[in-house]
């Protein structure tokens, strides 16, 4: 990579970061001006009477706050092939399919080259800071990335997940050349049609290039954790392939077989070495550095709904640092991680003022709502990027160059500091992921804490929670919380009953405990599901068009998400009702 460093001017990127963050307010005005100028002819803005105005004051006066639902009629017209200027000046020809974790079904959001440009700005900025701390020298990346298919909607619009739209952009390869270490895996593996086959080959390529691997990454931490859990199952088969130089017959995609045959040569020495290393590990602790002795770090989004996987990932990573990447969504990027050494649990993202126009709905003044603005506040009053206050929580509102204006993303962040005048935010949670029956309000984070506290009882049996989710069961009076757990093995009845009671007691929200005491909320129920259930949920979401790279386990399954509920309920092997409040 010496050549890469020459091409990529790290100093310049860092200087630019300093410049825009020092002057965040002006940069925000300019960014909004540009977005509104470029899209002045869009039907949406014309209908709102904006009439070419580009200042923030008019923008806020004329353009309402919206959610995805409000934009669906416009988006549906585009999907059906209306290529007039609907939300943007230039017609939208590509859509991103967001993971739609919360609603249980993917949703379409407009995608264009300008959004691709902001993606590169985010990547370049975090790379400059990361590479300063952890330089990669002539190394390869073992990247568990999977590009799903792009397809044409019935109106002829190209659609794919945002990560796929990025990977498949004709400018991607060139733009990333300067900052990305080459992947171990050939394109045929990354773009393969079957995720299991691609994963197997990613692992195999990593082993073949084990000395050269300097970083292990994926878009979200889930894919990395999932890859090494799979390795635990398949390592002996992988060794056989390396020993014999013949790819496992379960990889059937011809293009992948052809590409892999160019890399795979009989190497009994390597096979024996890997075999010996695996046998020597205690419960797979430190697997990643053992397999990849020159790896410098493990990299991917590790905050938010990825936090529950950190424990397992640390176990695999041993002494290697875990670095969280950037913060964004299909709707647009938000912040970049310029402090790569900070552990993911404490990580913050600096909002980049030149990639979109950002507003923040204050939440902490809504006493007792745990900040769900949609509950109480019908007329939220967002503040600007440089008006946010330290320590406060906000719901993010995005205006992007791809036709989203004052769009409520549904994420809640906390302002933890400032880089010059740009806020540094910590991701807190999705705003609508809330366990609530009456006056109780428990967030994704409260659930995570309850699960982590209770799962400590499993440690004695050398077991762990592989994944979890929750559901509000209102089919019987009174309603109650149901928590689904997939466990790595068989736990005893006593231990599971204890876990169930412990979870019930771990929701310390006063609304919950008081309702439990008077039985306005029924006993918490722990439902243990079969091994592989969460994989079925992943496969179900892939079938709906999601990509593995963007998969996030839904932490609360709503009543409308019938298919996921069905998968969970069909796989329950045991259930326990808490006796904690009796």
Among 8-16, 48-56, 328-336, 448-456, which window interacts with ligand AMP (CB under 6 A)? 328-336
Residues 522, 479 contacting (CB under 8 angstroms)? yes
Nearer to ligand AMP, 45 or 434 (CB): 434
304 belongs to the binding site for ligand AMP (CB under 6 A): yes
Of residues 56, 300, 328, 423, which one binds ligand AMP by CB under 6 A?
A: 328
Do 133 and 174 touch, CB atoms closer than 8 A? no
CB of 402 to ligand AMP, least distance (A): 13
Q: Does 340 contact ligand AMP by CB under 6 A?
A: no
Contact between residue 65 and residue 52 where contact means Cβ atoms under 8 Å apart: no
Q: Binding to ligand AMP by residue 202, rule CB under 6 A?
A: no
Contacts with 556 (C-beta within 8 Å, 6 or more apart), sequence order:
433, 434, 435, 444, 447, 469, 470, 471, 472
Strand partners, 419: 422
**Nearest residue (CB) to ligand AMP, 162 versus 234:** 162
336 sits near ligand AMP (criterion: CB under 6 A): no
Which region, judged by CB under 6 A, interacts with ligand AMP, from 45-53, 301-309, 387-395, 496-504? 301-309
* Nearest to ligand AMP of 75, 499 (CB atom): 75
Is residue 99 near ligand AMP by the rule CB under 6 A?
yes
Q: Which of 388, 335, 394, 390 is nearest to 361 (CA)?
A: 394
* Residue at shortest CB range from ligand AMP: 304
Question: Which single residue is written with the structure tokens 């329950």?
Answer: 572
Cα 35 to Cα 20, 21, 226, 393, distances in angstroms: 17, 19, 39, 27
Please say which residue, 346 or 508, places its beta carbon nearer to ligand AMP.
346
- Contact with ligand AMP (CB under 6 A) among 17, 123, 327, 358: 327
Residue in 42, 75, 115, 162 binding ligand AMP, rule: CB under 6 A: 162
160 binds ligand AMP (CB under 6 A): no
d(Cα 357, Cα 335) in Å, to the nearest integer?
12
Chain Cα centroid distance, residue 214: 23
Angle in degrees, 0-180, between the axes of helices 221-244 and 310-317, rounded to the nearest 10: 40
* 165 touching ligand AMP, by CB under 6 A: no
Q: Which two tokens stand for residue 439?
A: 């006056």
What are the contacts of 17-21 at 24+ separation with CB within 8 A? 17/125, 17/128, 17/338, 17/352, 18/420, 20/352, 20/353, 20/354, 20/422, 21/350, 21/353, 21/419, 21/420, 21/421, 21/422
Residue count at the site for ligand AMP (CB under 6 A)?
A: 15
Instruction: Answer yes or no whether residue 409 interacts with ligand AMP by CB under 6 A.
Output: yes
Single out the segment in contact with ligand AMP by CB under 6 A; choices: 110-118, 323-331, 499-507, 526-534.
Answer: 323-331
| Contact in structure between 489 and 545 (CB atoms under 8 Å) | no
DSSP string of 351-382, one letter each residue: E-TTSSEEEEEE-TTSTTTTT-HHHH-SS---
Looking at the Cβ atoms of 204 and 396, the one nearer to ligand AMP is 396
CB of 396 to ligand AMP, least distance (A): 8
Q: For ligand AMP, which is the closer residue by CB, 114 or 411?
A: 411
Within 8 A by CB and 6+ apart from 430, the residues are 101, 102, 304, 305, 410, 411, 412, 444
Q: Whose Cβ is closer to ligand AMP: residue 56's or residue 328's?
A: 328
Note whether 400 binds ligand AMP by CB under 6 A: no
Q: How far apart are CA 456 and CA 507, in angstroms?
A: 16
H helix runs in 281-358, sequence order = 287-291, 310-317
Min. distance of Cβ 303 from ligand AMP in angstroms? 4
What x-and-dash track marks residues 544-573 binding ligand AMP by CB under 6 A?
------x-----------------------
- Parallel, antiparallel or unpaired: strands 465-473 and 332-336: unpaired
Within 8 A by CB and 6+ apart from 536, the residues are 567, 571
Q: Which is nearer to ligand AMP, 348 or 578 (CB)?
A: 348
184, 301, 404, 435: which one binds ligand AMP (CB under 6 A): 301
Least distance to ligand AMP, CB of residue 442, Å: 18
Q: How far is the CB of 37 from ligand AMP (least distance, A)?
A: 27
Cα distances (Å, whole numbers) of residue 324 to 16, 131, 146, 297, 412? 22, 14, 19, 10, 18
* Site membership for ligand AMP, residue 430 (CB under 6 A): yes
Place of tokens 């939440």: 363
- Minimal distance, residue 255 CB to ligand AMP, in Å: 27
Binding mask of the shown chain, residues 463 to 502, with x at each position contacting ligand AMP by CB under 6 A: ----------------------------------------
Piece of 144-152, 321-329, 432-440, 574-582 that binds ligand AMP (CB under 6 A): 321-329
Q: How far is residue 158 from each of residues 1, 110, 168, 199, 271, measured CA to CA in Å?
A: 35, 10, 11, 26, 43
- Does 98 interact with ligand AMP (rule: CB under 6 A)? yes
Interaction between residue 130 and ligand AMP (CB under 6 A): no
Q: Is 66 in contact with 406 (CB distance < 8 Å)?
A: yes
- Least distance between ligand AMP and beta carbon 552 (Å): 6
Backbone angles phi, psi at 50, to 5 degrees: -70, -30
Query: What's the closest the beta carbon of residue 377 comes to ligand AMP, in angstroms?
Result: 20
Q: Which residues bind ligand AMP (CB under 6 A)?
A: 98-99, 162, 301, 303-304, 327-330, 409, 411, 427, 430, 550
């Amino acid at each position: 990579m010496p050549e890469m460093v020459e091409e990529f001017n790290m100093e310049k990127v860092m200087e630019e970061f300093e410049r825009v963050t020092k002057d965040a307010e002006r940069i925000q005005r300019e960014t909004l001006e540009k977005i509104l100028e470029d899209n002045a002819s869009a039907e949406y803005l014309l209908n709102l009477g904006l009439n070419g105005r580009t200042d923030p004051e008019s923008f806020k006066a004329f353009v309402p706050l919206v959610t995805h639902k409000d934009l669906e009629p416009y988006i549906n017209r585009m999907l059906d092939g209306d290529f007039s200027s609907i939300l943007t000046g230039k017609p939208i020809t590509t859509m991103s399919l967001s993971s739609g974790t919360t609603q249980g079904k993917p949703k379409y959001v407009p995608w264009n080259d300008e959004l691709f440009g902001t993606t590169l700005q985010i990547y370049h900025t975090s790379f400059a800071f990361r590479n300063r701390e952890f330089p990669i020298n002539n190394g390869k990346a073992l990247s568990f990335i999977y590009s799903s298919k792009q397809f044409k909607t019935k109106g002829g619009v190209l659609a794919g997940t945002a990560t796929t739209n990025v990977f498949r952009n004709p400018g991607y390869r060139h733009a990333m050349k300067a900052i990305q270490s080459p992947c171990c895996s050939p394109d045929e593996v990354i773009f393969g049609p079957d995720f299991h086959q691609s994963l197997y080959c990613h692992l195999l390529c990593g082993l073949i290039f084990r000395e050269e691997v300097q970083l292990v990454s994926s878009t979200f931490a889930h894919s990395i954790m999932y890859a090494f859990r799979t390795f635990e199952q398949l390592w002996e088969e992988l060794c056989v392939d390396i020993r014999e130089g013949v790819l496992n017959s379960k990889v059937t995609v011809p293009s992948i077989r052809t590409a892999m045959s160019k890399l795979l040569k009989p190497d009994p020495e390597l096979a024996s070495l890997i075999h010996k290393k695996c046998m020597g590990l205690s419960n797979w602790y430190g697997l990643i550095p053992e397999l990849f002795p020159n790896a410098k770090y493990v990299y991917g989004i590790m905050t938010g709904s990825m936090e529950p996987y950190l424990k397992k990932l640390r176990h695999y990573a041993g002494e290697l640092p875990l670095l969280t990447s950037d913060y964004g969504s299909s709707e647009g990027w938000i912040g970049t991680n310029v402090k790569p050494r900070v552990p993911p649990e404490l990580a913050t993202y600096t909002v980049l003022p030149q990639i979109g126009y950002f507003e923040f709905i204050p939440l902490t003044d809504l006493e007792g709502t745990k900040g769900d603005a949609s509950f109480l506040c019908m007329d939220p009053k967002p503040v600007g990027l440089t008006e946010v206050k330290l320590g406060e929580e906000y719901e993010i509102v995005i205006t992007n160059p791809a036709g989203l204006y004052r769009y409520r993303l549904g994420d809640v962040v906390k302002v933890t500091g400032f880089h010059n005048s740009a806020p540094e935010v910590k991701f807190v949670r999705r705003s609508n992921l809330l366990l609530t029956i009456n006056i109780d309000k428990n967030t994704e984070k409260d659930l995570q804490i309850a699960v982590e506290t209770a799962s400590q009882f499993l440690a004695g049996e050398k077991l762990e929670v592989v994944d979890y989710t929750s559901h509000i069961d209102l089919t019987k009076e009174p309603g109650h919380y149901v928590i689904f757990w997939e466990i790595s093995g068989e736990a005893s009845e006593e231990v599971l009953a204890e876990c169930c009671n412990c979870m019930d007691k771990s929701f310390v929200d006063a609304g919950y405990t008081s309702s439990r005491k008077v039985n306005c909320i029924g006993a918490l129920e722990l439902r243990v599901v079969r091994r592989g259930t969460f994989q079925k949920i992943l496969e179900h979401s892939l079938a709906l068009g999601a990509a593995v790279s963007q998969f996030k386990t839904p932490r609360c399954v709503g009543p409308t998400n019938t298919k996921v509920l069905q998968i969970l309920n069909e796989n329950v092997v045991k259930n326990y009702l808490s006796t904690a409040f009796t």
